[in-house]
Amino acid sequence: MELVNLRVSQLNACAYCLNLHTRAALRAGETTQRLGVLAAWRDTELFTSRERAALALAEATTRPADAGAQTAAYAEACATLSYDEISAMI
């Protein structure tokens, strides 16, 4: 969840939230390597399919201008995550 929070903070360019969620992710055991490449998560193999689905959904709901991307991200999330997990994220 902290990866999602951090990615949304990156998209929103919120320095306070970036600091808060980076510290929380590190406390939760996240690696600095993964945090360092989070903005380019699509271009690395460091994230699981579940994490990728969650990140795609987070991006689509944070920047909903592209309805097609939002629909695709939701479909991918439904195939990978439980409804409770999707609900918690949104």
Res 78: pLDDT: 87
Q: What would the pLDDT profile of 9-19 be if each residue is shown by its tens digit? A: 999 999 999 99
pTM listed for this prediction = 0.83
Q: Low-confidence residues of the chain, pLDDT below 50?
A: none
pLDDT for 53 equals 92
Percent helix, percent strand, percent coil in the chain, to nearest 5: 80, 0, 20
* Domain architecture of the chain: domains with CATH: 2-89 (1.20.1290.10)
Which pLDDT does position 5 carry in this prediction? 96
In the Cβ-directed half-sphere of 29, how many Cα atoms lie within 13 Å? Answer: 0
